[in-house]
Structure formats: structure tokens, C-alpha cells
Structure 1
Amino acid sequence: MISVLIITYNESLHIERCLESVKCISDDIVIVDSYSTDNTEGLAIKNGVRFYKNSWVNHSNQINWAIDNIDFKNDFIFRIDADEYLTPELVAEIKEVFSNQVDKKINGFNIKRRTYFLGRWMKHGGYYPTVLLRIWRKGKARCEDREMDEHMVLTDGDSTFLKFDFIDHNLMGINSWIDKHNRYSEKEVIEYYKSLSGRVESYELGEAKKNRLLKNKYYKLPLFLRSFLMFIYRYLLRLGFLDGKEGLMFYVLQTFWYRFLVDSKIYEKENDVNV
């Protein structure tokens, strides 16, 4: 069996769905909550998990706080967000893999994320598969110290890949998505200037390194133009239009609106614009 780590804040809409999908692969489910004001805690405790509270700084701080302060019962830890859940195929695969002794050289497992938007799988546009290190041997991984796009990275040993997917399906709707990504854009600007100054901590391994190199190339493109190019790349060249009306909304919002918003905030900062 493996331990499961879930970071939460006001996740009463999602938490039981997530817990239902992981309870059959784990006898040690741990939630680290940043003082939710909804019924997240009550629903979690009803489901028999270990529930901790820690003040919010960012995702990486919460994850590393859990790694440093919680005694996980099992040799491997699986991190999953509250609005994510496992496919039945992934559940079966995890049970099979961890029913036997894992090779001591393997300290991590990469898993494919399948993103849904307004109930539809974003299968094209280069968003699938997004491969992430989500299972690691206890004591052998850290989360990058970043405001945005933080990755779990191994500090020792090798990783391998699982065949099946987990699902990222937030149920909160468009208004919540826009509010969340407006907050994300502030963090993205912070990370942008950190990268320029060389103050970003990163182990630069595996999938994290590949994603970082791609983002560095993106930020070398001209301000504002790059958001248009990103949309064209995702929606047209990577066939995002095959994801229907939901795909049109997703790629406009995610690869154009959000990236244009980040650039607008960079422009505002660099030109000392007074509103």
C-alpha cells in the first residue's frame, strides 16, 4: 500500500470524489488544509483521513511542510489534488505494481494527467498527456520552491512510468476558473522575475526540466505576440479545435486570455503604469 497526500482549501465540492477514488489503494490518507471555511474538514474526517492544518504560503510550501512534518506510514507517497481522481484502470495498475516489492533503484513514478474542462476531455492541443511525478519513495523527493508550476522532483534514484491516467476535473465553473487564473497570473509574474534574476530553486530533473526549458523559450518571444502564437500552436497546429466548443473556450482562455493577462501585468510593472 501507499500513502496519499492531498492539499486542500475549501474543497467540499470535490473532496469526497477524490477520497473515494484513492481509499482502495491506500490505508494512510493525509490531508493538509489551509484553514478551510467550508465543510472540507467535516467531510474529510467522516471519511477517516488524517487531517492537519498549516497556514497557506503556496502549494510547494504545503507539500514540503507535509514531507518534513508528517510521519507517513508507507514507503511511497502519492500526491493528488482534491479536484483530481483516479481512473479505475490506474487503481488496478497501482494495486498490481505495489503488491510486489518495488525495485530499490526506482524512487518515483510518473503518471499521465487527463484534463477535463466543462465536462469534456481536453484530448488535443498538446495538453494530453501531461506527465507528472506524483508517486515517490519517502525521503527521496521534494517540491520545487516556486509560486507557480511547481513539480515534484527526485533527489535520488530513478523514476519510471505508469500506463494509465488520473483525471483533473474541476467542477467550479467559469467564474471560479477566471478568478483562480487571475490569482495565478500574479504568481506567474513573480516567477517570471525570479527566473530573470536567477533566484529560482529547481532540481532541474526529468519532466520538470523539460517544462522549464519550454517556458524559458516562450518568454524569449515578444511580449503580447507570444500569447497569440501560443493559441495558434495549441488550437490549430496541435489540433485543439477537435475538442469542440469546450475546447474553443479552453484554448482561448488558457492559451490566449491567461497568457495575455500575464503579459499585461508584466507590461504594467515594467512601465510603472499608474492606474
Structure 2
Amino acid sequence: MIPVSIVIITKNEALLIGECLKSAALITDDIVVIDSGSTDGTLEIARQYGCRIYQENWEGYGANKNKGVALAHYDWILSIDGDEIADRRLIRSLHNLDFDDPRIVYDIKFRSYFGKKPIRFGEWGRNHHVRLFNRSQIKWAKAKVHETLLLPKGTIRKKTEGRLHHFSVQNIFECHNKAIYYARLSAAQYAKNGNKASFLKLYLSPSFVFVKNYILRLGFLDGWEGLVIAKMMFKNTRLKYYYLKQYEQGKFVRDENLPHHQHLFLNIDPFEK
């Protein structure tokens, strides 16, 4: 095993968490699970793999990941999600890394899936993220959505071999629901940051996102799934600025006790009929 702790945040990940942990157990002897109220058997599966499990209230993606980082045994942290699986090439690569310099972060390639189909083009086909870092130097920003690592000056970025395989959505309905869910979270974050929903963002940005993903980045080569993903990205962009406009006009109801800090808008989805 290598001196790396794996940190996973979970809520109802039973569908894939077993495969996720099966690969994680080949990397380290310290797997930390930060769970926010799973009811589907996720925790029972995690216990089978000897994970250290902590029940925490949901405070956002970045904040909950930081909780896991603080509880890890090792300073080197590999952050993965419950629907991500390390392939054997990545596992071998991790075992051959040098962990002497805490300034280094490792950028890992992703392979995203729509159901069981690997997506090779469009935005999803280009994914890579820094997921391996030393906690003495780096932590997660406390954003509730699209969490990012705070990389100090002097950080050295390196790449690994292999991939994390991300089973993003199982079907078109999950794709649709995620577009709405993340649009709500993004709108709340934008409102907090003082962003405004301009005419260009409301009416031109969604179309640009579709064209960039489906045409310029060859998303159409992924067939039907590529079209669905491009439409989902259009919808997500359109909705997050629509909801931001609702914030600006005061047309929303806020409830901090909702799971994952979702917000209830008076008009949940203007495209739903």
C-alpha cells in the first residue's frame, strides 16, 4: 500500500460504491467515507471494505470533502466520488509515484459514461481533474457546487497514467434531473458572489454551450448520448441564469434545512410542461 488516504463523500451510492471501493482497496489501507444520510445500503457496503465512516451534515461539496481530508491518516489525499472507479493502469501508476514533495499535485484523466457507454467527445470526453494532493499545502474551496482545490503559488502539477472511470448518469431521466439540480446550486452560488443574469448569459450562453459541446468538440460522434449530453448542458446553462434572475427579483423560497442545501423556487423549471 502507499501513504495515501482516499476520501469519498457519499449519499445513496449503493449502485456503484462496491466497485469504487474494490479498486480503492488496491491503493490504500485508509479509506474515509463522509456520508450525509444514506438509506440504500451504501454504509453496509463501505463497512465490508473496512472504511472509516463518519456521518456528517451536508454543508456543500467542498466543505464535506475538507471534513474527510482532516480525518485522514495520511497527508497525501486521493479524492474520489462514489461513482468513480480507478482502472488498473491508474492503480499501478499511483504505486510508482514519489510522495516526497508536498508541492506536487497529480492531474488524473477521466472517462465519463452515459449508462454503460463511454463518452469520448464533447465536454465529457475531455475531463481531467487534480485529485491527488498533500493536505499540508492544499484544501478544497468551500463552494457548495463545482468544488475546486485552492492551489498555492509554487504548486507543481503532474499527470498520472490511467483513468478514473466516472459513471456520470444511468439514463436520460437522471441526466435531466442533474441538469436542474446543479443549475439550482450554481444559481445560489452566483447570487452569493454577486453575479448578474445578463441578457447575453440568459439567451446566448446556452446556445453557445450547445454548439461548443456538440459541434466544435465533436459531441455528435457519441451518437444519441452525445446529443442528450449537449441538450443537458444547454438546459443547465439556461436554467442557472433563469434561477439567478429569480434571485435578483426575490422570487424564491429558501430553506437551509433541505438535503444538500437545495433551494425551492416559485418556478422550479420553466421548461417543464
Q: Structure 1 residues 261 and 220, CA, compared in 2 at 3 Å: closer, same or farther?
A: closer
Residues 108, 131 of structure 2: 8 Å contact kept: yes
CA distance in 2: counterparts of 1:63 and 1:17, whole angstroms: 20
Instruction: State the alpha-carbon separation in 2 of the partners of residues 31 and 179 from structure 1.
Output: 25
Which stretch of the first structure deviates more once superposed, 9-18 or 103-112? 103-112
In structure 2, the residue matched to 1:94 is 94
Is contact 1:105–1:158 with CA below 8 Å preserved after alignment? no
1:127 is aligned to 2:124: yes
Alignment of 1:146-185 (within 5 A): 146-155=143-152, 157-170=155-168, 172-185=170-183
CA distance in 1 between partners of 2:199 and 2:133 (Å): 33
- CA offsets per residue over residues 169-223 of structure 1, 9 Å max, x none? 14543323333332221111112223336xxxxxxxxxxxxxxxxxx9x989442
Distance 1:229 1:122 in 2: 20
Other-structure match for 1:205: none
What's the secondary structure of 1:80's corresponding residue?
strand
Please give the per-residue CA displacement for 1:2-41, whole angstroms capped at 9, x wherever unaligned. Answer: 2111100011111101001111111111111012112111
- SS of the residue corresponding to residue 160 of structure 2 reads strand
Alignment of 1:1-275 (within 5 A): 1=2, 2-68=4-70, 70=71, 72-97=72-97, 101-104=98-101, 106-155=103-152, 157-170=155-168, 172-196=170-194, 221-253=200-232, 255-271=233-249
Letter in 2 for 1:160: K
Once residues 180 and 233 of structure 1 are traced to their aligned partners in structure 2, the CA distance between those partners, rounded to angstroms, is 20
**Structure 1 counterpart of 2:263:** none
Pairwise CA RMSD? 2.3
Identity %: 28
Tell me, which stretches of 5 or more residues in structure 2 are unaligned?
A: 252-265, 268-273
Find the residue that maps to 1:242 and give its secondary structure: helix
In the alignment, is the contact (CA less than 8 A) between 2:110 and 2:163 conserved in 1?
yes
| TM-score scaled by length of structure 1 | 0.82
Counterpart amino acid of residue 15 in structure 1: I
- Aligned pair count reads 250
User: Which SS does the other structure have where 1:265 is aligned?
Assistant: helix
Q: 1:58 to 1:94 in 2, by over 3 A?
A: same
Cα offset, 1:226, TM superposition: 1.0
Say if 1:107 and 1:154, in contact at 8 Å, map to a contact too. Answer: no
Separation (CA, whole Å) in 1 of partners of 2:199 and 2:81: 31
Distance 1:10 1:126, change over 3 A: closer
Question: Which residue identity lines up with residue 230 of structure 2 in the other structure?
Answer: Y
Asked if 2 retains the 8 angstrom alpha-carbon contact of 1:224 and 1:263, the reply is no
Secondary structure at the aligned position of 1:74 is classed as coil
Structure 1 window deviating more from structure 2 (103-112 vs 56-65): it is: 103-112
Amino acid at match of 1:86: A
Unpaired segments of 5 or more residues in structure 1?
198-215
- Say if 1:230 and 1:237 are closer, same or farther in 2 by CA, change over 3 A: same
Tell me if structure 1 keeps the 8 A contact 2:188–2:244: no
Describe the superposition over 1:210-269 as per-residue Cα deviations: whole angstroms up to 9, x where unpaired: xxxxxx9x989442221011101110111110111111111111x212212222223333
Using the alignment, how far apart are the partners of 2:83 and 2:237 within structure 1? 23
Alpha-carbon distance in 2 for matches of 1:105, 1:42: 34
